[in-house]
Amino acid sequence: MIRERIGLFFGSFNPIHNGHMMLANYMVEFTDLHKLWFIVSPQNPLKEKESLLQEHHRFDMVSKAIDNDPRFEVNDIEFRMPHPSYTIDTLTRLSERHPNIAFSLIVGMDSLENIHKWKNYEVLLQSYRLLVYPRNGFTGGNHINHPSVQLVDAPEIKVSSSFIRRAVSAGKNISWFMPPKAHEYMTLMHFYE
């Protein structure tokens, strides 16, 4: 019996920023989700690793960002899985551990458009609901009308982690772009400078 609906928001969160938090907030307030878990990924198989901060630092920044909000949790399950980690493997493991939870995958339109590149994407689409938020310039591709895909009319947020990293490296003050405690930790640790 399914008792709880939880959204899984995967990402490197390198670093987490207010765009991530606004999207997470939207998902728990404007969909049928009860909670949202941030899944901090050690390494995205489709992204370069060179500028990636150590996983425990990114985990700590997400923890500080959510700051005891009961709607959110941060999860490090992928830290103990083979690298690179694949979404379907993580979903399978979480579903085995929590059989009473209905997990939904939160992805952008860009990810949906490229989902055919993901490991066992057909199984993922068959077994899990995808809550898909808009991304400028992307239409979702061939799977936009799949029965497991639910389009979510979240506001489009254009701030990115790469923008934050470039701005910090250039000595800019980006304090209003990040949750305060995450920004404080990043500054204290001199990340991305």
Domain limits of the chain?
4-189
User: Once rounded to an integer, what is the mean pLDDT over residues 171-183?
Assistant: 96
pLDDT above 90 covers what percent of the chain?
85
pLDDT at 88 over 80: yes
Looking at the DSSP assignment, which residues form a beta bridge with residue 5?
Answer: 102
Positive or negative, the Cα torsion across 139, 47, 88, 97?
negative
Dump pLDDT digits (tens) for 133-163.
999 889 899 999 999 999 999 999 889 999 9
Pick the CATH number of 4-189 from 2.60.40.10, 3.20.20.100, 3.40.50.620, 3.40.720.10: 3.40.50.620
- According to the model, what pLDDT value does residue 14 have? 95
pLDDT at 115 over 70: yes
The DSSP bridge pattern shows strands 129-133 and 72-75 to be unpaired
pLDDT above 70 covers what percent of the chain?
95
Dump pLDDT digits (tens) for 41-69.
986 655 665 678 999 999 999 999 999 99
Give the confidence band of 9 by pLDDT, cuts at 50, 70, 90. very high
